[in-house]
Amino acid sequence: MKSSVDDIRRRFDADVERFSNLETGQSATIDAPLAMTLVAQTAAATTPHARHVLDVGCGAGNYTLKLLQHIPNLDVTLIDLSRPMLDRATERVSRATSGTVTALQGDIREVELGEGRFDIVVAAAVLHHLRTDGEWRSVFTAIYRALRPGGSVWVFDLVESSIPAVQRLMWNRYGEYLSALKDEVYRDHVFAYVEQEDTPRPLTFQLDLLRDVGFAQVDVLHKNVCFAAFGAVKAVV
């Protein structure tokens, strides 16, 4: 069985420091600093008049902090399962913006996002915890509704390949990356918690779903092995 929401929350409760480094990002994630920069720059370029950002699975707030370097003094809403993560993100983000900072502890599948409240949504290394296709559709639909016309959503996450042979190749390459980063023991540790916690979907599945729930424009910013940065823009009515 996959980890429960409480299992995942407890792991992140104990891992705040590792997720609090704006410069290096998350080392187990390929190209994390590059993806963070691309997401921030692209969000600012596509939604330059943004006033309010929603950070889903905010962790320690790195993505919002990077975005604030490009669009200062946004109102910020932070959502995370982990209260220690949320507290750290609130502390760091509050120092970086004169806007209002709202922190919500909860599961994105259950939090009511409302309609037309946000200009930008960012979701980094969080959606792979969704389980069923229905949950994916529900969350993408909620994000679409929560955005104002012209708003945008930007994702960086672990992705599968839709072709089994490609998936095996990409997973082997990811294992080589982890072994080179530390060693085989570390590789096996990462693989074990991915197997226990995560249910990623192919990039193509997610791009198609973004279009299907209503987004007018969809694009890919970066993909390397089994990690991808991508997003979509809601049409201006």
pLDDT, tens only, 87-134: 999 999 999 999 999 999 999 999 999 999 999 999 999 999 999 999
Residues 6+ apart with CB under 8 A from 147: 116, 118, 119, 121, 153, 234
Over residues 3-17, mean pLDDT: 58
Confidence of residue 26 (pLDDT cuts 50, 70, 90): confident
Confidence of residue 28 (pLDDT cuts 50, 70, 90): confident
Average pLDDT over all residues of the chain: 91
Does the pLDDT of residue 16 top 70, yes or no? no
Confidence of residue 237 (pLDDT cuts 50, 70, 90): confident
> Cβ(102)–Cβ(76) under 8 Å?
yes
Which range is least confidently modeled, 8-12, 85-89, 215-219?
Answer: 8-12
